[in-house]
Structure 1
């Protein structure tokens, strides 16, 4: 296993102390907000990695030099000589942008289109940084709030009907529209993707309403109306249940950070979530989302493609976002599997969203409650039998892993070696290291309890 170092990302919405404390930064590193720490094989922001006997290098360079050693034969055959996931610790003091991530063919088309237009990869006007589709998953390390995907039509109509603002009224009109109302929403119809020809009426209504919110700043509404902040607060006072109150709280918080940005009204169409520590949500490609506040472990396909529609000072790409938008109302996806984790790996939860590139595990160890050591031996010994019985591998060990200590200290053990990690320290465990476990520290060299996150492929 090799020490790996995160790449810090400083954005205006980031934390002023949470990540700084977790990673034990000091001096100038405390100055300004810190939003994300990337454990990355992405070409634009590669993580430094320490490999004995080699000069300082990065994760992509190390993988290209020894692909089967680093990511394994299966990973190399399936994804090529690259790390298939991007792992981050994210901390938001303010809301992030309202955004969507593309599917693969849209990512390829957008990347080539921007290349042809001569937009540099590091340009702030760039939307597509690579050719990869991007889904993602976040596991809360503390209370974490977000708006994810479209809620049902009745929830959206009830929320927006309370808001005394012409854009909200236009959105309600869109949500109540019929196929015969196409002329009244001609601009929205023009910006729909080709696939809209087979959409259900519900998806068409959702698109029209979302379009009204994210393009509202470009329109003129002569009708007198109160300021957006006042309209939202007045509506919040009329909310009748907790979920509705949460949606308005998110919109009000977003408006406070982005004054009079009418795209915050789109949050009233979306599923409001509050995740407690260890809870999770998976965000498929095309699903609109906005993180509101909190700290979490985030993993995604190895992509930095972000299409923004509002709530940001960064580049907005509304036309491309609308082409990628999934307008189907749906309940947010929780990919956690507590039963498997508790059975085979002590106090650990697995998060398997059903994609081939990544999964997460979040766990805790405590020397005072040492579990029966035979359990890990049984898991290793009967792995092939478990595959035959259940049809799936329960413990990832054939691909690359990143193990990060998030609290206290842990002892990372592989078939080849062991290493104590304290809070903020991480190791890259190559596929060649085989089985690995995370144990408590029992020799008194560090804290006897700790928490950790493992980012890995699901095999």
Structure 2
């Protein structure tokens, strides 16, 4: 029986926070540079590390590759080719990320094979499909978390466009008004994302000025307009600013989550969250980034289905709150104890697990008596060969733990 604390990699992207992850990990605040993501898993780019009983530190990737059945379980190892199928993250967004979508399993396999055949290096900046797998994801807010995700119901978008209508915008509003469905959204999105730069340079200032006026007037779409102004200030000549007008504007409270399946166009704006996603690097960017944007490939992947974006707060399963998705790669659960609750919880699974503590402290106890204390910001790896562990709350403050498993785990 093995209960192993993880040492996890911090990714220093420019949009990250200089306080959130250092504070979570008990390090000096502020950090010298932005820290955007804390990765927990066996991603080849930055796998977590585990110190063995011999004092030697090994990567979780090496452990999984050396014993896929013992670490992942027979079913998970067979389905995912001996690879841990999920990656768990803390995401700390101080500034907006790029607008992006991810491919389905079929699109990823086809695109990967096509780019391999073309001889595009997997680390090339114009590579869309470095691996042949899908990348669904779910993000659960730890603080108030702001995002754009999924296409808004078209008639609501028409109302927004009319509320900020300008001479240059009016002809585009008509396109969607005359066809207020997913095909109309596709037509308008395609028109905007392919506008010549000269046309963008005329239209965007008009739209931004109209958004300023709408905010001053305390209009119905003031929150949406503030977001457009923020994006326009950071990316003043980018078609992605216009495309952001088409997406649902969401504010998640702590504990609320959204699931982003294949094709969902989204953009994280600000806040701290736990994110779980398939262990893939396949991203099709729409804009708001200096990185590669492949418009034809993006249009092949984006799902133009529309409507309100479903928000989950977790389905109760005893002390667990489970965030349900159709993703076979992962499942995320949230476990909480109030300050006056100290009952132990038995956790078992047929596959691999990562437990992440985001508040308070607890003891993780194996059935052979081996145990480890898990404090805020710490995480533990539980291989499939471990049949069950008990979670024993410590202290007199509220406790919160997130549990990541493969989607086939029961």
The SS at the match of 1:440 is strand
State the Cα RMSD in Å.
Answer: 2.5
- The equivalent residue for 2:268 is 291
- The equivalent residue for 1:264 is 241
- The one-character-per-residue Cα deviations of 1:185-238 (angstroms, maximum 9, x if unpaired) are xxxxxxxxxxxxxxxx82221111112332335453696884543232123345
Give the whole-Å Cα distance in 1 for the aligned partners of 2:168 and 2:364: 54
Q: Which runs of 5+ in 2 are unaligned?
A: none
Please say if residues 247 and 272 of structure 1, whose CA atoms lie closer than 8 Å, have aligned partners that are also in contact: yes
Q: Which among 20, 25, 37 is matched to residue 22 of structure 2?
A: 20
Q: Which among 357, 363, 370 is matched to residue 329 of structure 2?
A: 357
Distance 1:336-1:414 versus aligned 2 partners, 3 A rule: farther
- The one-character-per-residue Cα deviations of 1:309-354 (angstroms, maximum 9, x if unpaired) are 11112222222111101001132233443432xxx22xx4221213
State the shift of 1:141 in Å. 0.3
Distance 1:420-1:41 versus aligned 2 partners, 3 A rule: same
Give the whole-Å Cα distance in 1 for the aligned partners of 2:124 and 2:65: 27
Distance 1:71-1:150 versus aligned 2 partners, 3 A rule: same
| 2:395 pairs with 1:435 | no
- The equivalent residue for 2:61 is 60
| 2:405 pairs with 1:453 | no
Structure in which a larger fraction of residues adopt helix: 1
Distance 1:7-1:236 versus aligned 2 partners, 3 A rule: same
Distance 1:225-1:80 versus aligned 2 partners, 3 A rule: closer
TM-score by length of 2: 0.90
Please give the residue correspondences for 1:26-45 in structure 2 after superposition, counting only pairs within 5 Å: 26=28, 30-45=31-46
Give the whole-Å Cα distance in 2 for the aligned partners of 1:10 and 1:224: 34
- The one-character-per-residue Cα deviations of 1:100-151 (angstroms, maximum 9, x if unpaired) are 1001121122223333344332333322221111111000000001111011
- The one-character-per-residue Cα deviations of 1:53-79 (angstroms, maximum 9, x if unpaired) are 484322222112111221112211222
Please give the residue correspondences for 1:9-408 in structure 2 after superposition, counting only pairs within 5 Å: 9-26=11-28, 30-53=31-54, 55-165=56-166, 168-177=169-178, 202-216=181-195, 218=197, 220=199, 226-237=205-216, 240-241=219-220, 244-340=221-317, 344-345=318-319, 348-366=320-338, 368-371=340-343, 376=345, 397-408=349-360
State the shift of 1:277 in Å. 0.4
Please say if residues 168 and 265 of structure 1, whose CA atoms lie closer than 8 Å, have aligned partners that are also in contact: no
Count residues with an aligned counterpart: 405
- The one-character-per-residue Cα deviations of 1:29-63 (angstroms, maximum 9, x if unpaired) are 92211111111322233222233348432222211
Structure in which a larger fraction of residues adopt strand: 2
Distance 1:308-1:37 versus aligned 2 partners, 3 A rule: same
Q: Which runs of 5+ in 1 are unaligned?
A: 179-200, 381-394
Please say if residues 396 and 457 of structure 1, whose CA atoms lie closer than 8 Å, have aligned partners that are also in contact: no
The SS at the match of 2:7 is coil
Please say if residues 440 and 449 of structure 1, whose CA atoms lie closer than 8 Å, have aligned partners that are also in contact: no
The SS at the match of 1:38 is strand
Give the whole-Å Cα distance in 1 for the aligned partners of 2:51 and 2:327: 29
Distance 1:166-1:85 versus aligned 2 partners, 3 A rule: farther
Give the whole-Å Cα distance in 1 for the aligned partners of 2:204 and 2:330: 47
- The one-character-per-residue Cα deviations of 1:264-287 (angstroms, maximum 9, x if unpaired) are 222221111110000111011001
State the shift of 1:163 in Å. 2.9
Please say if residues 256 and 312 of structure 2, whose CA atoms lie closer than 8 Å, have aligned partners that are also in contact: no
State the shift of 1:308 in Å. 0.6
Give the whole-Å Cα distance in 2 for the aligned partners of 1:18 and 1:44: 22
- The one-character-per-residue Cα deviations of 1:224-261 (angstroms, maximum 9, x if unpaired) are 884543232123345643xx332222222222222242
